[in-house]
Amino acid sequence: MSTPQEPRKKRGPIAAWLLSLDAWLDSSLYELRYRGGEFWEAATIFFRRFKVTGWRRWLIEALSEGFTLGAVASVAMLALALPAFDETSKDWRAQGDFAVTFLDRYGNEIGQRGIIQRDSVPVDQMPDHVIKAVLSTEDRRFFDHYGIDLFGLVRALTENMRANSVVQGGSSITQQLAKNLFLTNERTLERKVKEAFLSLWLEANLSKKEILQLYLDRSYMGGGTFGIEAAADFYFGKSVKDLTLAEAAMLAGLFKAPTKYAPHINLPAARARANVVLNNMVDSGFMSEGQVLQARLHPANVVDRGERKSPDYFLDWAFDEVKKIAPKGTHSLVAHTTFDANIQDAAEESVEFHLRQYGKEYRVTEGAVVVIETNGAVRAIVGGRDYGASQFNRATRALRQTGSSFKPYVYATAMEHGFTPDSVVSSGPISWGSWSPKNYSGSFGGKITLLNAFVRSINTVPVRLAKDSLSIPPIKKMAEDMGVESPLESHKTMVLGTSGMTVMDQATGYSVFAQNGYVGTRHGVTQLVTHTGEVVYDWAKDAPSPRRVLSEQALRSMNSMLTQVPVIGTARRAALPNIVSGGKTGTTQSYRDAWYVGFTGNYTAAVWLGNDDFRPTNEMTGGSLPAMIWQRMMVYAHQNIDLKPIPGIDQPFVDKTVAAKAEEAQKKQAAEEEARIAAERPPVLSSRTTQTLRALSNTFEAAPALTPPASSEKLSAL
């Protein structure tokens, strides 16, 4: 310890430098705090001049909150719209140069698809009254807004509230074009947000003239026609350039509801709608009452085309199939299809009948159906109730959860792994990680056979099979091998049908059970022929050969279980009189989707019911309306035809007389097939000629070898 008498030690240069730095930091922080306080006081005094009180303060607060919420909402809307902009990176302008005429299975023309460039008439060449009729009805302020007509939206809301119904639409022409080009008809907030942003994008990248041209060329106009030029030719037998005011008003009225106001189906309704268009032209100031008077007094007449109904959902799907199989460079074609108008009518009638009668009770609005014959021919497609209201094909494009109708793929995998319908498993509670599935009844049981579990649609049994014996990959592979093209999730919940699948995929997968375990036969086009008669595609020759995906033992086991579901299971309403059938019901969580997929020896059909906006139904199950729709449709489809047996079951026919007829029909069909194959074989030699040639060949082989000829000298000596 140092004493006061001892001298203090001198600090080194480093210590002195550190002390200086510390002193500088202290003084700087003090100065910064002092200056900051002065600035804050000055800023407070300054902003006090703008302080408001009373009602002004509440106004400022409301505006501030409004700006904040608006910014947050804009960011959220932009995040929702970003996926839609991916569509704009594609070649959305191109419609392809395909021009295809479609014939049904009997050779009757059922429609056309593909737009030839000459069919598009430039807007500048259309009569003035055609443009005015369209704008006055669809978008009066088309040339004044930037994609979204706010004033028009307010006007439409006002008129709808006054009429207590939807009498006017608020969507601009640009919004409708955005929906037609990039989106579907789903009535969801997400779709409306995407539509708004895409409308702004179209306005930024196209001129008003280009937008109007695309709208007039791409809109569905009823009767299987797309575009105003095709509609003018179909309804009036003339070009859009030659339309009268009355005809233009009738066509302009089709944009809202082309199926409802199609003049070849309901001429009075079309004329009434045309009169509304004339009123719009007067109200908007485009024409005077005197100018439209003659059109009112002399409404348009249409070309008589009978009651022809275009199977538009089938044509859309078949058109996509043609694009896949058509040879390169051959795009003007006649397509012979598998379409059957009678089965199509039966399917549409059954869907509409049951939805009209029970739709409100079950709170369900939409349905879809696919019918496939046992030879793989797609006979009918119902993609929705009204093609004019929505061109979105729910049968081929909508991915909906399948519920218990997915279980046959799980059980088929189990049968391939050695299980049988008599195998016993536990139906008690099971947990797979954090997932503990429940049964529909809410109760559990003990030991149970797979047949009983399948017929009663018990959930815990397929989950136990997947968890303890199969695993997810083999189940997914089985579904894909059976023709399912929809992307399946590799999640454990998929065994209960949580993956989205299309109605077409369900019909394709189940058709394997009716086709003796084979897949690869589904088709909608049998031949493609050029207009000169050259066959460029023949399904019988050019399609890949079908392949077996289910062994005979697995097929027998599955069909023995599937055929019990309409008898003692969940699909008793689908049972056909005197016809053996098999199938499976499906109901998803919250009753959003209801399915019945079934088959006979002749046809496989998949039925789906639900709502486009995914609203839950009123506890509708697959064994209710879907099974009823399937039953009504299939009863008609099996009238006056030779019944075929379901393969792999002991008693494929209820009636012995029917069984005898079926056996006779099978022999006849086998003979016809043999004759067809023989006719396609190249010409061959007769048996007698073949024997003669073989004898000559043997003689030549037994003959002695020839000696070489003598030289010229030896020959001359001789």
Active-site residues, by number, are 138, 404
Q: How far apart, in whole angstroms, are the C-alpha atoms of residue 679 and residue 79?
A: 63
Tokens of 693: 């040639």
Determine the residue type at 13.
Answer: P
Q: How far apart, in whole angstroms, are the C-alpha atoms of residue 690 and residue 103?
A: 45
CA distances from 614 to 79, 453, 494, 504 (A): 21, 29, 19, 19
Q: How far apart, in whole angstroms, are the C-alpha atoms of residue 565 and residue 214?
A: 51
Gyration radius from the chain CA atoms: 37
Determine the residue type at 334.
Answer: V
Query: How does DSSP classify residue 111?
Result: E
Q: How far apart, in whole angstroms, are the C-alpha atoms of residue 565 and residue 599?
A: 12
Residues 341 and 311: beta-carbon distance below 8 Å: yes
Tokens of 421: 């319908």
Residues 595 and 608: beta-carbon distance below 8 Å: yes
The β-bridge relationship of strands 378-382 and 366-373 is antiparallel
Kind plus residue range of the DSSP H or E element containing 234? helix 228-236
- Classify each residue of 173-197 as buried b or exposed e, where b means 16 or more C-beta atoms within 10 Å of its C-beta: bbbbbbbbbbbbebeeeebbbbbbb
Kind plus residue range of the DSSP H or E element containing 443? none
Q: How far apart, in whole angstroms, are the C-alpha atoms of residue 528 and residue 537?
A: 5
Residues 565 and 572: beta-carbon distance below 8 Å: no
Q: Which residues, listed in sequence order, are joined to residue 111 by a DSSP beta bridge?
A: 102
CA distances from 293 to 273, 275, 301 (A): 15, 10, 17
Tokens of 133: 């009729």
Q: Write phi, then psi, for 87 (nearest 5 degrees).
A: -65, -30
Q: Write phi, then psi, for 110 (nearest 5 degrees).
A: -120, -5
Tokens of 526: 């049998």
Q: Write phi, then psi, for 131 (nearest 5 degrees).
A: -65, -45
Among residues 529, 512, 522, the alpha carbon closest in space to that of 338 is found at 522
The β-bridge relationship of strands 366-373 and 424-426 is unpaired
Q: 409 Cβ partners below 8 Å, 6+ apart?
A: 475, 478, 479, 482, 484, 509
Q: How far apart, in whole angstroms, are the C-alpha atoms of residue 412 and residue 424?
A: 16
Q: For helices 189-205 and 173-182, what crossing angle results, to 10°? A: 110
- 168, burial (CB in 10 Å: exposed 0-12, middle 13-18, buried 19+): middle
Q: 562 Cβ partners below 8 Å, 6+ apart?
A: 408, 513, 582, 583, 584, 599
Query: How does DSSP classify residue 579?
Result: B
